[in-house]
Amino acid sequence: MEQMLTILIADDNPSDRILLKAILSQFGHKVVTAVDGQDAIDKFDPHTIQLVCLDIKMPHKDGWEAAFEIQRIAGDVFVPIIFLSGVSDPIALSNCLRIGGTDFISKPYSPALITAKLNAIVRLLVMQKTLEEQRDAMRSYNEQLLNDQDIAKVVYENITHSNCLEDPALSTFHYGTHTFNGDVILAAYKPNGGMHLLLGDFTGHGLSAAIGALPLADIFFEWTKKGFLMRQIIPEINARLKRILPANMFCSAVFIDIKVNNKSIEIWNGGLPDVLFFSKKANQPIRFSSKNLPLGVLSPDAFESQIEAVSFLPGDRLMAFSDGVYEALDVSGKMFCHSVLMPLYQGHVAADQSVDWLIEQLETEGVLKNPHDDISCLSVRLDASIGIDSSESEYSRAHHEAPADFSFEYVLNADSLRNTDPLPYVLQILTTVPGLSSFSSQIFMILSELYSNALEHGVLKLNSEKKNSIDGFSQYYEERESRLASLTSGYVKISVKVTSEGHNRSLVLYVEDSGSGFDFKGVHFDISNTELLYNRGLALLDQLCSKLEFSKGGSAVTAYYDWQVGLNG
Amino acid sequence: MVERFFDKKTGCLTITINGRFDYSCHKMFKEAFTSVTTAASYDVNLADVSYLDSSALGMLLLLRDHAGGDRAQVRLLHANGAVLDILKIANFHRLFNIAE
C-alpha cells in the first residue's frame, strides 16, 4: 500500500526535527515543519495535512495542548496524531493515546519502526476514507429514498383518497405503522345513488404492502363510476391482484354495496374480521363473517364470491375493521377479539358511539402507542339518501348542447343475461348525449330499476313479496343467483330513443322481457310507505320519469324522461 | 424457530414452527420447504405457534404454490384456538387440509 502523505512535524529540537524530516522525505512523503506547539497549530490545515507528529515537550504549548487544539480545528476530518517522545514512561505514553493520539514514536528514531508505523497509519487512513465515502453514499441514498417516498406517498394518497370518504354518513380511522401502510379504505358514490365501500388489508406492512393498493383503487373507482356492480368489480380486482402480486401477497377485504333504491346492503367478506350490522330491530349486531378467500389468492376460474344481503332502515349502522383491531393485544396480553371487543359483539355499545368507543379502547389498552399492525376501522350510518344528488352540483352545464337524435335496441338472450351486465355499456352510450351526462345518476337509476325488474320478475319469475322480511330478503337474492345460473331461455330487450326539438330533449327507454307480465293496475306509487320492502322501485321510477307506461300485459314498460338545454344561456 | 423433518419412506416433509409465525420466519421457512426437492407431501405443524400474521399466511401460500398449487398436498396440523381462528377468517380451509 503505497501512498504519499503530507505530514506536519512539530519539534523544538532542530536536530530531531531535521532527522525525522529526512527519514520521512526519503519515503517520498511531503513534510511541513513547525518549531513548537503554537507554530504547529498555526500551520495545521485539515484539508492538506493528513498526519501530524508532535513532540511532547515544547515551548509555547506542549504536544498535548497542540493535539487538543488541532483535533478541534480538524472537526469531522480524521487526522491521526503521532507523539514523538524521548521518555519511556508508560504513563506518559498511555496519556498520549488517551487524549486521542493514534500512536507514538520513541526517540532515538529507528527508520524500520517508523516505516512500519507509517504503513499502519496509511491503512487506517484508507479505511477511514472508505468509511466516509460509504457514509456519504448512504446518506445521499437515504435522502433520495425519503424524497422518492414523499413523491410516491402523494401519488398514493391521490389515488387511494380520491373518493367520498368525507360523506357525513361515514366515520373512519386509520393508524399506520409505516409511512405507507397496507390498509386502504375506499368509498365511491354509484351513478344510480348509494355507495360502494371497501376496507382492505394487504399482506405485510410498508411500501410493499401499499403498492397493491394502487390497482385495487384504480379498478374500484373506475368500475364504480361506470356503473358496474359489486359482483362484477370483485372478480376483476381479484384477477388483477392475482396476476400482478407475488404468490405470498394478497388483500383481505370487505366490500360493501349500499343500495338506496331498495334500502339494502350487500356484503362480501374475504379474510377480514366479522362485519357488524347494527339493526334497530335487534339487540345484538348481526355478524357477517368471512365467507371468501382474500383477494388475489385464487385464479380467476376458481374464484367465486359469496355475497350476503340484508335490508336496512334509516339509522341502522354497519361497522368493519381490519385485523389490526381484532388481533391487537390488551394490557394483559389477550387478543382484542377474546376480551375488549366482547361488549361490542354483545350489543352493549351503542351503535352510534361504536367508533369512538373503539378508539378509546385502543388508547386505554396501549395499542395506539405501539401498534404492531396497521389499524383501520370504517363505520357507516345507513340511509336512503346516501349518494343521491351529491354529484349533480359538480357538473357545469355545457354552453352549447348540440341536438341529438338516435335510437338503438339491445336484446340479451339467456347466455348473455347469465354472463353480462349491459347497464354500464348502455349508460356509456347515453352519457355521450350532450346535456344528458349531468343527469346520468337519474338515468342510471331508471335504467337499472327497469332492467332488474325485467330480469328478476319477468325472466327469473321471482316473487318480490319474499323481500318483505329480513330472512326472505337474503333468500330472495340466493334464489336470484341460483335461477340466473341455470337460466336457459328468456330475454330482455332494451330500446333507447333520444330526440331533440328546440330546447327540449327527450329520452324514451323501453324495456321488455320474456315473462308473463304482472297486474300493473294494482301497483301503488306511494313512495312514502317505507314499511313496504318491495315495490318501492316502481314508485321511485314514477317520481323520476315524466311518464311511465306499461304494455303487453305488464311485460313491457316505457319510461319517458324529458329535459331542456340551453335555457340558462 | 423453524425445524424440518423429511420422512424418506412416506415422502412427507414436516415443517415445525415455534413461537411467533411472522415475517421473521420468512427466510427459514422458505429454506425449509425448498431444501427437499423430492417431497411428495407437506405437513406444517402449528402446535407451538402462538401467533400468526398475514405474512405467515402469505408464506403458506408460497409453500402451496411450490407444492403444485391446486394439486398441492399440504396439511396444516394442530393449530390452536387463536391460530385456527385466523386460518378460518382467511378461509384457508378451502386451500389447505386443516387438521386439529
CATH number of the domain bearing residue B53: 3.30.750.24
Closest chain B residue to A252 measured between Cα atoms? B90
| Shared domain check, A523 and A486 | yes
Computed from CA positions of residues A432, A433, A436, A442, in that sequence, does the dihedral angle turn out positive or negative?
Answer: negative
Contact criterion met (CB below 8 Å) for A405 and A498: yes
| Shared domain check, A443 and A402 | yes
Interchain pair A203, B57: CB under 8 A = yes
**Mutual angle of helices A230-244 and A213-225, in 10-degree steps:** 150
Contact criterion met (CB below 8 Å) for A271 and B91: yes
CATH of the domain at A498: 3.30.565.10
Q: How far apart are CA A16 and CA A57, in angstroms?
A: 13
Residues of A at the B interface, defined by Cβ within 8 angstroms: 201-204, 247-250, 252, 270-273, 289-294, 297, 302, 323, 327, 335, 337-338, 373
**How many domains does chain B contain in total?**
1
For A547, other C-beta atoms within 10 Å of its C-beta total: 11
Residues of chain A contacting residue B70, judged by C-beta atoms under 8 Å apart: 302
| Shared domain check, A400 and A377 | no
Write the DSSP string, A460-500.
S---GGGGGSHHHHHHHHHHHHHHHHT--S-EEEEEEEEEE
Q: Tell me, what's the pLDDT at A535?
A: 57
- In the predicted model, residues of chain A with pLDDT beneath 70 are 1-2, 161-163, 177-179, 389-403, 437, 467-470, 522-536, 566-569
Domain that holds residue A509: 395-564
Q: Tell me, what's the pLDDT at A494?
A: 92
| Shared domain check, A306 and A172 | yes
Q: Tell me, what's the pLDDT at A398?
A: 47
Q: Tell me, what's the pLDDT at A257?
A: 94
Contact criterion met (CB below 8 Å) for B8 and B41: no
| Shared domain check, A116 and A35 | yes
| Shared domain check, A309 and A172 | yes
Domain that holds residue B50: 2-99
| Nearest beta carbon to residue A294 from set B62, B70, B90 | B90
Q: Tell me, what's the pLDDT at A23?
A: 85
| Nearest beta carbon to residue B95 from set A203, A252, A293 | A293
Residue A136 lies in a domain: no
Does the beta carbon of B71 lie under 8 angstroms from any beta carbon of chain A? no
Q: How far apart are CA B83 and CA A522, in angstroms?
A: 57
Q: How far apart are CA A10 and CA A22, in angstroms?
A: 14
| Shared domain check, A556 and A411 | yes
Residue A364 CA: distances (Å) to CA of A329, A349, A358: 11, 16, 10
For B51, other C-beta atoms within 10 Å of its C-beta total: 16
What is the total residue count of chain B? 100
Q: Tell me, what's the pLDDT at A526?
A: 55
**How many domains does chain A contain in total?**
3
| Shared domain check, A189 and A108 | no
Q: Is A31 helix (H, G, I), strand (E, B) or coil?
A: strand
The per-residue pLDDT string of chain B (100 residues; one tens digit each, 9 = 90 and over) reads 899 999 989 999 999 999 888 888 888 999 999 988 888 999 999 999 988 888 889 899 999 999 988 888 999 999 988 889 889 988 999 999 998 7
Residue A145 lies in a domain: no
| Shared domain check, A407 and A262 | no
Q: Tell me, what's the pLDDT at A394?
A: 42
Interchain pair A290, B70: CB under 8 A = no
Q: Tell me, what's the pLDDT at A239?
A: 95
Residue A143 lies in a domain: no
Per-residue pLDDT tens digits for A475-502: 888 888 889 889 999 999 999 998 888 7
Residues of chain B contacting residue A327, judged by C-beta atoms under 8 Å apart: 51, 53, 86
